[in-house]
C-alpha cells in the first residue's frame, strides 16, 4: 500500500480524458456545422491532433505523482502514465496515417476522428482503473468505438463483414468478462482491486471455486481483446476487412490496453495466487505464439499476415505475464512501445503501397518494390526485421527482456519455446523482404504520392524503432520506474 494515497474526488486527475472527450465532441459538432464537402474536411484531422497533443502534455505533467482519485476508482501512477503515453502516441500516429487514407477511401467523416479519440479515452480508463467497474467501462468505450471504426467503409462488403464479426464476438466475450467480474464481486464482496487482494490475503491465499471461476472468465474476456489463442478466430478477418489505418490502430491500442488491465488485475488483485493462474496463462502463451506464427507462414495477404503476427506478439507478451516479476512489467511496457512503432510503421507503408480502394494488398504486390521505391523498401524492411526481433532494432531488445524475465523467474522451457517461435517468425517476415529485393516487379508501380502527414508518421516510427533498439536504456529506465506497486 502506498502511503501517498489521497482518497479524494479529484477532477483534475482526469484532465487528459476530459480534453480528449471535449475535442471529440467538438469535432462532431464542427463537422455537422460546416458546409464543406466530405473531401475538404482536413481541419477535423488537425483539430483532433491538437486534442491528442494537449492531452499528452497534460498527462506528462503528472509524471512522478501517485494519486487515487474518484474515491479510489481511478489511479494515476507512473504505470498508468506510461500507458497513457502509449495510447496517445498510438492515436496521434493513427490520425497522421489516416488523413490522406480517409480521403482516398471516401470515409472522411467527422465521426472517424471522434471515435479514435473516444476509444483512446476507453484505453486510458482501462489502464488507470483501480476497480473492475472502471476497467469494464473503459473496455466497453474502447470496443464500441472500434466496432464502428471497423465498419466505417460502409459500402464495402469486407468492411461490413469484419465489423459484424468483431461486434458479435466482441459482445460475446464481454458477456464472459462481465460474468467473471460478477463472480469475483460475489466471492469477495468488492470490486476494488486492492480490496480483492486484501480479501484473498485474509483467506490465506486459498481461492474458493466462485473466485476461481470468476478469474477464469476474466481471462477469457480479456484474452479475447488482446487476441490470444484460442480466442483469436476473429483477428485475421477483422484486420483484413477494416480500413488499414484502423487495423494499425486496433493492432496496437486495444492490445496495449488489454495488457494494461490484465497486469493490473492479475498482479494487484490476484498477485498472491500466482500459482493458480500461471499454468493457464502458460498454456495460452504457448498456444498463442505457435498458432500465430505457424498460420502466418502460409498467408498471401499482407494484412492477414500482420494479423497473425500480431497474435504471435500477444503470445510473447503473455510470457512476461507468466513470469510475473518486476522485470516482466517493464519488459511488457517496453515491448508494447516498440510494438507500437514497428506496427504502425509497417501499416503506414501498407497504406502507401495499397493505393486506391486498397487494391494492392497481396504480398506479391510488394515484389520489386526495392527497385522502384528503395526508401520505402528500406523502411518496410526495418519494421519487419524489428518484428522478427533482429538486432539492432526495438523488437530485439523487447524480446530479449521478455525472455530474460521468463528465465529469471525460472520458466526456461517457456523462454525456449518463445525463442523457437521467434525463429519461425523470421521466415514469414523475410518472405516480404525477399519479395521486395530479390524478385522483379509483378505489376506496374504507379507513382506513389507520399503525403507529408504519412511521411511524418513513418519517420517517427523509424526513429522510434531504431532508437529503442540502439539506446534502450532511457526508455527502460522509465519503464522500470513504472513498475506496478506489487502486492
**Sites of contact with another protein (CB under 8 A):** 25, 28-29, 32-33, 133, 136-137, 140, 144, 147-148, 151, 154-155, 157-158, 160-165, 167-168, 171-172, 174-175, 178-179, 181-183, 185-186, 189-191, 236-237, 240-241, 295, 298-299, 304
Q: Report yes or no: 78 and 63 within 8 Å, Cβ to Cβ.
A: yes
CB of 7 to another protein, least distance (A): 16
Q: How far is the CB of 300 from another protein (least distance, A)?
A: 9
Nearest to 246 by CA among 370, 109, 63: 109
Q: Of the two residues 171 and 486, which places its CB atom closer to another protein in the complex? A: 171
Shortest Cβ distance from residue 285 to another protein (Å)? 22
Q: C-alpha cell of 188?
A: 469477495
CB of 306 to another protein, least distance (A): 13
Of residues 200, 216, 222, the one with CA closest to residue 268: 200
Q: Tell me if residue 362 falls in helix, strand or coil.
A: strand
User: Whole-number minimum distance, CB 453 to another protein, in Å?
Assistant: 26
Q: Which is nearer to another protein, 185 or 437 (CB)?
A: 185
Cβ of residue 193: shortest distance to another protein, in angstroms? 13
Residues 246 and 250: their CA atoms lie apart, in Å, by 6
Question: What are the backbone dihedrals phi and psi of residue 147, each rounded to the nearest 5 degrees, phi first?
Answer: -55, -45
482 near 344, Cβ under 8 Å? no
Decide: 346 and 239 in contact? Cβ < 8 Å. Answer: no
Say if CB 483 and CB 413 are below 8 A apart: no
Find the shortest distance in angstroms from Cβ 70 to another protein. 12
Query: C-beta of 161: minimal distance to another protein in Å?
Result: 5
Q: Cα(291)–Cα(235) distance, rounded to whole angstroms?
A: 12
Name which of 236 and 472 has its Cβ closer to another protein: 236
Residue 74 or 453: the one with the smaller Cβ distance to another protein is 74
Supply 281's cell numbers: 496463462
Comparing CA positions, the residue from 62, 64, 72, 67 lying closest to residue 4 is: 67
- In the DSSP assignment, the letter for residue 69 is E
Helix-helix angle 15-33:110-128, to 10 degrees: 170
- Grid coordinates of 122: 476507453
Tell me the closest approach of the beta carbon of residue 239 to another protein, in angstroms.
10
Residue 164 or 424 having the CB closest to another protein: 164
Cβ closer to another protein: 1 or 33? 33
Do you know the residue count of the chain?
487
Question: SS3 for 474?
Answer: helix
Buried b (16+ CB within 10 A) or exposed e, 24-57: bebbbeebeeeeeeeeebeebbebbbebbebbbe
Nearer to another protein, 224 or 334 (CB): 224
Closer residue to another protein, CB minimum distance, 189 or 374: 189
Q: Identify which of residues 105 and 278 has a Cβ nearer to another protein in the complex.
A: 105
471 phi/psi in degrees, rounded to 5 = -120, 70
Amino acid at each position: 500500500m502506498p502511503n501517498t494515497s489521497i482518497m479524494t474526488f479529484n477532477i483534475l486527475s482526469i484532465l487528459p480524458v476530459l480534453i480528449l472527450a471535449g475535442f471529440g465532441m467538438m469535432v462532431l459538432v464542427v463537422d455537422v456545422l460546416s458546409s464543406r464537402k466530405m473531401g475538404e474536411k482536413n481541419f477535423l484531422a488537425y483539430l483532433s491532433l491538437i486534442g491528442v497533443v494537449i492531452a499528452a502534455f497534460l498527462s506528462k505533467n503528472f509524471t512522478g505523482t501517485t494519486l487515487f482519485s474518484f474515491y479510489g476508482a481511478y489511479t494515476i501512477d507512473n504505470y498508468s502514465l506510461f500507458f497513457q503515453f502509449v495510447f496517445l502516441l498510438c492515436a496521434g500516429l493513427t490520425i497522421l496515417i489516416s488523413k490522406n487514407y480517409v480521403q482516398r477511401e471516401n470515409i472522411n467523416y467527422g465521426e472517424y476522428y471522434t471515435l479514435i479519440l473516444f476509444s483512446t479515452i476507453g484505453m486510458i480508463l482501462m489502464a488507470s482503473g483501480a476497480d473492475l467497474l472502471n476497467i469494464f467501462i473503459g473496455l466497453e468505450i474502447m470496443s464500441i468505438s472500434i466496432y464502428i471504426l471497423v465498419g466505417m467503409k460502409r459500402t464495402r462488403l469486407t468492411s461490413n463483414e469484419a465489423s459484424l464479426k468483431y461486434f458479435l464476438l466482441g459482445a460475446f466475450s464481454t458477456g464472459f468478462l462481465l460474468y467473471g467480474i460478477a463472480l469475483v464481486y460475489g466471492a469477495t464482496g468488492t470490486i476494488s482491486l486492492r480490496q480483492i487482494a486484501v480479501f484473498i490475503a485474509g483467506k490465506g491465499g486459498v481461492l474458493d471455486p466462485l473466485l476461481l471461476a470468476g478469474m477464469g472468465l476474466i481471462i477469457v474476456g480479456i484474452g479475447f481483446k488482446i487476441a490470444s489463442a484460442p480466442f483469436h478466430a476473429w483477428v485475421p478477418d477483422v484486420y483484413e476487412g477494416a480500413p488499414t489505418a484502423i487495423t494499425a490502430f486496433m493492432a496496437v491500442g486495444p492490445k496495449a490496453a488489454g495488457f494494461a488491465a490484465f497486469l493490473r488485475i492479475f498482479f494487484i488483485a490476484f498477485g498472491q495466487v500466482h500459482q493458480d493462474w500461471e499454468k493457464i496463462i502458460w498454456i495460452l502463451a504457448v498456444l498463442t505464439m505457435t498458432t500465430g506464427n505457424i498460420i502466418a507462414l502460409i498467408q498471401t495477404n499482407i494484412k492477414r499476415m500482420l494479423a497473425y503476427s500480431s497474435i504471435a506478439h500477444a503470445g510473447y507478451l503473455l510470457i512476461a505475464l507468466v513470469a510475473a516479476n518486476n522485470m516482466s512489467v517493464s519488459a511488457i511496457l517496453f515491448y508494447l512501445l516498440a510494438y507500437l512503432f514497428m506496427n504502425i510503421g509497417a501499416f503506414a507503408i501498407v497504406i502507401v503501397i495499397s493505393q486506391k480502394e486498397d487494391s494492392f494488398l497481396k504480398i506479391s504486390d510488394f515484389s520489386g518494390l526495392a527497385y522502384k521505391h528503395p526508401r520505402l523498401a528500406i523502411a518496410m524492411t526495418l519494421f519487419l526485421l524489428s518484428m522478427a526481433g533482429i538486432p539492432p532494432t526495438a523488437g530485439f531488445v523487447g524480446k530479449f527482456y521478455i525472455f530474460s524475465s521468463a528465465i529469471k523467474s525460472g520458466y526456461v522451457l517457456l523462454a525456449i519455446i518463445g525463442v523457437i517461435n521467434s525463429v519461425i517468425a523470421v521466415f514469414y517476415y523475410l518472405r516480404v523482404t525477399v519479395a521486395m529485393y530479390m524478385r522483379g516487379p509483378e505489376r506496374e508501380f504507379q507513382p506513389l504520392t507520399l503525403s507529408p502527414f504519412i511521411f511524418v508518421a513513418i519517420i517517427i516510427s523509424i526513429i522510434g524503432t531504431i532508437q529503442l533498439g540502439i539506446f534502450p536504456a532511457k526508455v527502460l529506465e522509465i519503464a522500470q520506474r513504472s513498475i506496478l506497486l506489487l502486492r
